[in-house]
Amino acid sequence: PGRDLPEITCQETSDALSLAAQHLNDLDVVVFPTETVYGLGALALNAEASAKIFATKGRPADNPLIVHVSSFAMLQSLLPKDYKICPAYQALMKHFWPGALTLLFPRDSNVIPSIITAGQSSVAVRMPSHPVARALIAKTNGPLAAPSANTSGKPSPTKAAHVLRDLDGKVPLILDGGACDVGLESTVVDGLHEDGNIRVLRPGGITVEDIERVLELELSEDKEDGKSVLPKVLVHKRDYRDEAMEQAPTTPGMKYRHYSPSVPVTLLHTSTQPPVGQHALSASTFISTLPSTIGAKSRVGVLAPADSKFWECIELEDGVEWHKYTLGTIAEPAVAAQRLFDGLLTLEHEGVDLIIIEEILEEREGLAVMNRVRKAAGESRWINYETCE
Ligand code: TXA
Ligand code: MG
């Protein structure tokens, strides 16, 4: 419900899954829905199949892939025999699996091909909750490596139509499971360090606040024995000065330019202070100069919360053609997460000349949203709403 699911029968669903599993077992790639974004899957334990993922996406070989499992038994089969899962991971898996959380585990080099981990000594594993993803993994009877199903550098697809526009002719089959509920990639967490702390390498669908709440809930009893302490949750932006973070602050993937449509994107700061030497323009000044800076009658896409003042400010400016896409209300960062990539891809498809995104608060899902927005944006501008009220 609410996901724009295609109308097909159980038999057709079953046939589609069988066909997809057949392609996978023939060492080909297949696109499938997950609750976060669409994935480009191949057999994770087969180096030849996994190599096709890199070729199809144009993905750099030093960016490792996430391995997707459909059961705990499947997870166990990937891990080194003597490895014991730590209490923090157990708590996180209990609350967030299946779901938008990826955990790093030690890599068993006899099981996981090196192409998957790009030479890292760890392997990233996730158990998705989307029924089509679970069914496909189970039917294939093996873990699937799957990055987001987009050409490297582009926004991740959250609808089958996005994938078709980007990868048509490059993949044999796309399973359409409707629009993704979460809309942003999973949170990537590293709990493998000696200090026992939990490092958030990539913010995503599971919020830092939820991770902290669950660790507190599940592990605080242990505090009483005096020796074990609650692990800290280290996040790149927030704990930048934390020495422990300086080693490996983000995933290998995060160093690449990412999430950019083929259209220039401007990030509009409305609540943070401009850097020294720059000053904030009034919203109306910024808006009124657009026709001359990008050209009269240009098409300008706007991504902003439904209750943003920006919408009122553009009412009077008809020197450009506005294309509006709302991101839920200011109080709903989860809606912004769900709609961000669809918004970027929809406006790109509408042929706009510029996309303007208004910043949202970096709380809860807002942290992951702003992480993606910063990477999508080629430039930042600072405005205030003083003259629009
Ligand atoms: O929600 C998701 O995670 C989606 C769906 C399809 O599951 N997948 C996804 O995969 O976003 P991808 O390849 O676009 O992003 C994987 C991220 C990259 O930033 C990569 O560097 C990081 O995970 N990663 C994978 N293995 C890693 C490892 N061993 N150590 C550190 N980071 C790793
Ligand atoms: Mg990706």
pLDDT tens, residue by residue, 246-283? 444 467 766 666 778 899 999 999 988 899 988 899 99
Is ligand 1 within 6 A of the CB of residue 65?
A: yes
Query: What pLDDT score does 245 carry?
Result: 44
Is ligand 1 within 6 A of the CB of residue 63?
A: yes
Task: Give nearest CA residue, ligand 1 atom 9.
Answer: 147
- Rg, the chain, Cα only: 22
When pLDDT is averaged across residues 12-17 and rounded to a whole number, the result is: 94
Is ligand 1 within 6 A of the CB of residue 369?
A: no
Query: What pLDDT score does 256 carry?
Result: 65
Q: How far is the CA of 63 from the centre of ligand 1 (A)?
A: 8
When pLDDT is averaged across residues 220-233 and rounded to a whole number, the result is: 71
Q: How far is the CA of 136 from the centre of ligand 2 (A)?
A: 20
Q: Which ligand is the nearest neighbour of the Cα of 32?
A: 1
When pLDDT is averaged across residues 45-74 and rounded to a whole number, the result is: 97
Ordered DSSP codes for 210-221? HHHHHHHHHHGG
For the CA of 128, the nearest atom of ligand 1 = 7
Task: Give nearest CA residue, ligand 1 atom 21.
Answer: 253
Q: What is the pLDDT of residues 60-102, one digit of tens each?
A: 999 999 999 999 999 999 999 999 999 999 999 999 999 999 9
With a CB cutoff of 8 Å and minimum separation 6, the contacts of 360 are: 305, 327, 330, 333, 336, 366, 369, 370
Q: What is the pLDDT of residues 165-221, one digit of tens each?
A: 999 999 999 999 999 999 999 999 999 999 999 999 999 999 999 999 999 999 986
Task: Give nearest CA residue, ligand 1 atom 15.
Answer: 147
Is ligand 1 within 6 A of the CB of residue 148?
A: yes
Is ligand 1 within 6 A of the CB of residue 184?
A: no
Asked if the bond preceding 98 is cis, omega within 30° of 0, the reply is yes
Is ligand 1 within 6 A of the CB of residue 346?
A: no
When pLDDT is averaged across residues 136-140 and rounded to a whole number, the result is: 97
* Nearest Cα residue to 140 out of 43, 45, 73, 50: 43
| 251 vs 389: CA distance, rounded Å | 43
Residues forming beta bridges with residue 91, ordered by sequence position: none
Is ligand 1 within 6 A of the CB of residue 129?
A: no
Write the single-letter amino acid at 146: A
Q: Which ligand is the nearest neighbour of the Cα of 190?
A: 1
pLDDT for 42 beyond 50: yes
Q: How far is the CA of 155 from the centre of ligand 2 (A)?
A: 8
Is ligand 1 within 6 A of the CB of residue 166?
A: no
| 220 vs 155: CA distance, rounded Å | 39
Is ligand 1 within 6 A of the CB of residue 66?
A: yes
pLDDT for 365 beyond 70: yes
pLDDT band at 1 (very low <50, low <70, confident <90, very high): very low
Query: What pLDDT score does 246 carry?
Result: 44
For the CA of 36, the nearest atom of ligand 1 = 1
Query: What pLDDT score does 225 carry?
Result: 58
Mean pLDDT score across all residues of the chain? 92
pLDDT for 227 beyond 60: no
pLDDT for 239 beyond 90: no
* Nearest Cα residue to 362 out of 200, 252, 227, 246: 200
Query: What pLDDT score does 247 carry?
Result: 43
Q: Give the three-class secondary structure for 372.
A: helix
Q: Which ligand is the nearest neighbour of the Cα of 53?
A: 1
Is ligand 1 within 6 A of the CB of residue 201?
A: yes
Q: Which ligand is the nearest neighbour of the Cα of 251?
A: 1
For the CA of 120, the nearest atom of ligand 1 = 29
Query: What pLDDT score does 229 carry?
Result: 76
Is ligand 1 within 6 A of the CB of residue 39?
A: yes
pLDDT for 28 beyond 80: yes
